[in-house]
Chains A and B, each alone.
Chain A
Amino acid sequence: MPDSKRFLHPEAIKRIARLDLRARHIVEGFLSGSHRSPYFGQSIEFLQHREYVTGDDMRHIDWKVWAKQNRYYVKQYEEDTNLRCTLLVDVSGSMRYGSGPLNKYEYASTIAVSLAYLLLRQQDAVGCVPFDDAVRTTVPLRSKRNHLDSIIAALDVSQPKQKTDIYRILRHVAESYPRRGMVLLVSDLLVDRTGLIKGLQLLRRQGHDVMVFHVMDDDELDFPFKGPTRFEGLEIPEHLSCNPRALREGYLAAVGAFLEEVRRGCARNTVDYALVRTSESLDAVLASYLNRRLGMHHRN
């Protein structure tokens, strides 16, 4: 598989293509009114008729059908949204850890590219912002099919650096994309939590729909090491020689606290949060997530 295509796992793409990705919030006013249908917006392509129920917009009533059958039907169209999705992908040094076939970086990139492909197929605009200590590059929002190549190229980072100020990066994104849209953050979130939450808050305040894919390796979550081990920091110069089993309990407690803090921070700001293990099947993760997302949409 060519290097540029390594994030396009065909099986994952194929599975996701059968689902419709719907944005939870319709960005930039596709729908109007308080009773707008969350699923069926204005579009060119007619989808189906449905019997009128109270609350439906009267504009959508098909009067020709009324004339023939003396019943109220509304016309439903395939939605043709203008979703703007910015993929915020962490390519820092800490993402290079991996115990399975994919390290976190590869996994995160795969998620990002898969989503980009999916969105591009729907003519949604997709942008990409890989970052480590700073924003590496900014791929602008486009909805062309060949835009995917630009995203893939942007994600290909050979010399990762350590993360520093996540807030600065998120603020940069907020400033760079003033129009409301969707922001997908794919990261291991090994950053300053305060800055992270603050940054997410900022994005939300700007009206962005924010989703966080928290990518963690199994080793990081379970800490299954034994035997004398020297842990060397991927992002920090410190190292630690220890009996990992002795530290496991404390480590897991710290990780638990970390996850909880992140989860709470996300929930507080109505940011969708998903913890993703790199061992989990990639397509399954996307599918289950998108289903969940759809479900949440239905509830609206």
Chain B
Amino acid sequence: MLTFANNPLLLYGLPLIGVPVLIHLINLLRHRRVQWAAMEFLLASQKKNSSWIRFKELLLLLLRMLAVAAVVLIVAQPRLWDELGRFFGGGKTQHIVLLDDSFSMADRWGDTSAFQEARQVVERLGQALADEPLDQTFTLLRFSRAGRGQDGSPPDLLQAQVNTDFGQRLKDVLRPMRPSQLASGPAPALEAIEQLLGEAKDEDRVVYVVSDFRANEWNDSEELPKILGRLDQSRVHLRLINCVDTAHPNLGIVDLQPAGGTQAAGVPLYFDVTVKNFGSNEAEGVSVLLQEDGQPRPALAIEKLAPGESETRRFAAFFPTAGEHVVAASLGTDTLATDNVRFTLVDLPVSAPVLLIDGAADSLNARYLAAALSPGGAVKTGLDPQIEPTSYLNQNQSLDKFAAIFLLDVDRLDPAAVKTLEEYVAGGGGLGFFMGDRCRAPFYNDKLYREGQGLFPLPLIAKTQLLVDRLERGADFEFTDHPIFKVFEGERNSYLSAVTIDWYFSSPKNWAPPADSSTKVIARLRNGAPLAVERKFGDGRVTAILTTAAPQWNNWSRNPSFVVAALELESYLAMRPALDANRAVGAPIELELDPAHYQPQVRLIAPADRRTDEPRGATDQAPALEGGTLAVTATSKEGETNLRASFPAAAKSGVYELQLTKTDNQPVIRHLAFNVQAAEGDLTTVGAAALAERLKGVRYEYAQANDFQWAAHEMAGSNLSEWILYLLVGLMLGEQALAYSASYHPGKEAVR
């Protein structure tokens, strides 16, 4: 099938083919008359050459008419759509539009935004294609959908046939679309398209990447040039359309999380909030608005923030009641609003139980430590020390409820107890050791240290006396730069210098922490022997203090610094990774429920639309988790039946509410905080030059959204114009040669 991109031009242009004939007729009328004497010779020549001349002149006329026809055809842009067309490189055309809807596309300037520009580009493209009566299909895939994998996120349009009303249809599809809060890059979308396209068939494939081309997505990805290269090699036309003209200044909250310390009701809780300036100019007078459970708190002010720099501020929050509490930080409106807000969630117990296992019957060490952790009276530390004998660990009960566990002067543990402790620590728990007279090196070395494989961070030798040095008047121990001892930094804290260590548990002289391990000596005695050593075990931490907690081997517990150090130690050990606070938008929501306690019914309430930057009434139509009820599937694992609830993904930042029901019909409400990926807030664009560098060897076309005016005929079918152009050149050459041969060209001699 032959079609023309510019049909009207063809209609108007075709009569032009008659122009050479017309010129010929006009020339006949314009004949110069010459009264000629030597007619005899002229007639002789005419008689001799007339047939040949007439033939050449007719041929010349034909060539000129063909040349005019070729010019008309070139302008009319003919396209061929059949087997012959495939010979010229065309046929059916697939248009695949990958629409970037990551939240950086919410970048606003003037009265438009990157996403709005992108939407208009796609609309224009759709309309241009719809104006073409060609065999074309259209696929529209948003980055956010591709990023969700194959779990039921089909493209918005999948190989939709382009017909005359396609423009309107596409507009209807595009109208409700808004930028997501995801940080989806182009790679997943391109990979999905690569799979969708498969091998090259007898069709043209055009992939349009309509994006903002942020530097952080394109500069760091090794994968993108490879995917684009593969697409290019499989004869896919790549068209990259940039929707932003320049990078706009943007501030974003890149981090908000508890700063550590005891997390319990009624105890001040510290949070760190980090603000980053993604722009290229210094930001002044940045105000960070804070909310505790929705109640505004005094804002933090950052006077100046240099470009590219981030600033972390610590603030204290106070929640008198136990339970889940939300802390939110937000910035004022700027070009990109999505990264101006961040949430974190803390689940505060009334008090944090701390398990103290003491090997001695009198629990002397434990009592000293308990006194330090929970002094009682008006002082509230939020800790609830629980002193138990070693046999407590054999009762096969979960230790997860304890914020931290301390083993004090423990002589031995059953293997089961050791295993329980290891599981506890590996799962993120904190374990502290204090030595005592009952401790024996062989047990610690064989059962707990196990050549570095066990819980204990170092091998032991024996209880050793720290010899008194009469000449040395310095402190008995010195500490390193460590969170536990951070409060003692500075010369004003002279309490530690009054601490005297008499006995300690020594380690082999040549022992040093393996270089590749997490083991660290955080405090040493004045003779260089380790006093406090820590290591990581699984997700948890272990800290060993190689002396007693009670004032048996030292006088530390009588020193006020002991209370501070004990509380810091507990805080340090209890600092579990705040998993909930770090959930990113787009991550699937999964939870496992114990069928013994919960009914198989979960209701998820999405966060209310708190953001004010979006136009009112607009809703995100992404198949995101807006809330709803989900039947929980039962899964069987190792004889245990667990209930697993799985929601596709969180589409918005904020605090989600999970409504569970216990078996006794008691409702339980849990919360999950989701935040956007901060790096997406970096609005630096990669730029055409850098992009060309990145995509060296890949054929692609790059255009700004404003300049995107490609007409469909440039994209669909096999355009014969080029071939006709060659034909035209041939015709013109032939015409010239023939005209010369027919003596229509002046020679060297003068002519009249």
Of the listed stretches B38-46, B267-275, B497-505, B539-547, chain A binds B38-46
**Which B37-86 residues have a C-beta within 8 angstroms of A?**
37-46, 48-49, 53, 56-57
Residues of A within 8 A of B43 (CB): 238, 240
Give the complex CA separation of A249 and B747 in angstroms. Answer: 12
Chain A residue with the shortest CB-CB distance to B52: A246
- Could you tell me if A225 and B34 are in contact, using CB atoms closer than 8 angstroms? yes
- Chain B, interface size: which category? 20 to 34
- Check B46 against A235 for contact (C-beta < 8 Å): no
* CB contact list, A213-249 vs B, under 8 A: 217, 219-220, 222, 224-236, 238, 240-243, 245-249
Q: How many A-B residue pairs have CB under 8 A?
A: 119
Scan residues 236-294 of chain A and give those whose CB is less than 8 A from a CB of chain B.
Answer: 236, 238, 240-243, 245-251, 253-255, 258
A97 interfacial by beta-carbon distance below 8 Å = yes
Residue ID in chain B nearest A229 by CB atoms: B32
Please report the C-alpha to C-alpha distance between residue A97 and residue B36 in the assembled complex, in whole angstroms. Answer: 7
| In the complex with contacts A228-B32, A247-B53, A97-B46 CB distance below 8 A | no
Closest chain A CB from B26 CB (angstroms): 10
* Choice from A190, A229, A241, A245 contacting B38 with Cβ under 8 Å: A190
Whether A243 touches B34, Cβ cut-off 8 Å, given contacts A226-B752, A249-B45, is no
**Which of B148-156, B312-320, B738-746 contacts the other chain?**
B738-746
Judge whether B492 is part of the interface by a CB distance below 8 angstroms. Answer: no
Question: Whole-angstrom distance from the CB of B57 to the nearest CB of chain A?
Answer: 7
Asked if A94 is at the interface of the complex by the 8 Å CB criterion, the answer is yes
Q: Are A96 and B35 in contact, CB atoms less than 8 angstroms apart?
A: yes
* Interface flag for B616 (CB, 8 Å): no
Given that A245-B744, A247-B53 are known contacts, is A229 also in contact with B34, CB under 8 Å in the complex? Answer: yes
- When distances are taken between beta carbons in the complex, the residues of chain B under 8 Å from A96 are 35, 37
Quote the shortest CB–CB distance from B142 to chain A (angstroms).
68
**Which chain A residues border B32 with CB–CB below 8 Å?**
225, 227-230
- Looking at the assembled complex, report how far the CB atom of B256 sits from the nearest CB atom of chain A, in whole angstroms: 89
Quick check: is B33 within 8 A (CB to CB) of the other chain? yes
A residues near B742, Cβ cutoff 8 Å: 243, 245-246
- Could you tell me if B37 and A97 are in contact, using CB atoms closer than 8 angstroms? yes
Picked from A217, A228, A242, the residue with its CB within 8 Å of the CB of B30 is A228
List residues of chain B with CB within 8 A of the CB of A251: 38, 41-42, 44-45
Asked if A232 meets B36 with Cβ closer than 8 Å, knowing A226-B751, A241-B28, the reply is yes
Cα–Cα distance between A22 and B95 once the two chains are bound (Å): 100
Looking at the assembled complex, report how far the CB atom of A141 sits from the nearest CB atom of chain B, in whole angstroms: 30
> For the complex, what is the distance from the CA of A104 to the CA of B43, rounded to whole Å?
21
B30 to A, closest residue via Cβ = A228
In which size bucket is the chain A interface? 35 or more
> Counting CB contacts under 8 A, is A106 at the interface?
no
B33: which of A188, A232, A242, A246 is its contact (CB, 8 Å)?
Answer: A232
Using A250-B44, A250-B45 as known contacts, say yes or no to A230 and B37 having CB atoms under 8 A apart: no
User: In the complex, what residues of B have CB within 8 A of residue A238's CB?
Assistant: 39, 43
From the candidates A219, A226, A228, A247, name the one contacting B46 in the complex (CB within 8 A).
Answer: A247
Give Cα A283 to B35, complex, Å.
28
Which of A232, A236, A247 has a CB less than 8 Å from the CB of B34? A232
Q: What's the nearest-Cβ distance from chain B to residue A150, in Å?
A: 28
Pair A224/B35 contact, Cβ less than 8 Å: no
Complex CA gap A231/B33 in Å reads 6
Could you say which of B42, B48, B49, B746 has the most chain A C-beta atoms within 10 Å of its C-beta?
B42
Task: Point out the residues of chain A lying under 8 angstroms from B53, CB to CB.
Answer: 242-243, 246-247
Contact call B38/A230, Cβ cutoff below 8 A: no
Write out the residue numbers on chain A whose beta carbons fall within 8 Å of the beta carbon of B491. none
Contact of A224 with B37 in the complex, beta carbons under 8 Å: no
Task: Give the distance in Å from the alpha carbon of A227 to the alpha carbon of B44 in the complex.
Answer: 20
Q: Are B37 and A190 in contact (CB under 8 A)?
A: yes
The yes or no answer to B468 lying at the interface (CB within 8 A) is no
Q: From residue B518, how far is it (CB to closest CB) to chain A in Å?
A: 99
Closest CB-CB distance, B716 to chain A, in whole Å? 46
- State whether A234 touches B36 (Cβ < 8 A): yes
Q: How far is the CA of A93 from the CA of B39 in the complex (A)?
A: 12
**Contact code string B276-315 (vs A, CB < 8 Å = 1, else 0):** 0000000000000000000000000000000000000000
Closest beta carbon of chain A to B749's beta carbon, Å: 7
Is B27 in the interface zone, CB < 8 Å from A? yes
> Which of B39, B43, B749 is packed against the most chain A CB atoms within 10 Å?
B39
When distances are taken between beta carbons in the complex, the residues of chain A under 8 Å from B45 are: 247-251, 253-254
Minimum CB–CB distance from A167 to chain B (whole Å) comes to: 17
23 contacts between A and B (CB under 8 A): A95-B37, A188-B37, A190-B37, A222-B749, A224-B752, A225-B751, A226-B746, A228-B28, A228-B31, A229-B31, A230-B32, A235-B37, A240-B42, A241-B31, A242-B42, A245-B751, A246-B53, A247-B46, A248-B45, A251-B38, A254-B40, A254-B41, A258-B41
3 cross-chain pairs, A with B, having the tightest CB-CB distances, nearest first: A250-B45, A245-B743, A254-B41
Chain A residues within 8 Å of B, Cβ to Cβ: 93-97, 104, 188, 190, 217, 219-220, 222, 224-236, 238, 240-243, 245-251, 253-255, 258
Instruction: List 11 additional A-B contacts (Cβ < 8 Å) besides A224-B749, A228-B30.
Output: A94-B37, A190-B40, A228-B31, A229-B34, A231-B34, A233-B36, A233-B39, A234-B35, A246-B53, A250-B49, A254-B44
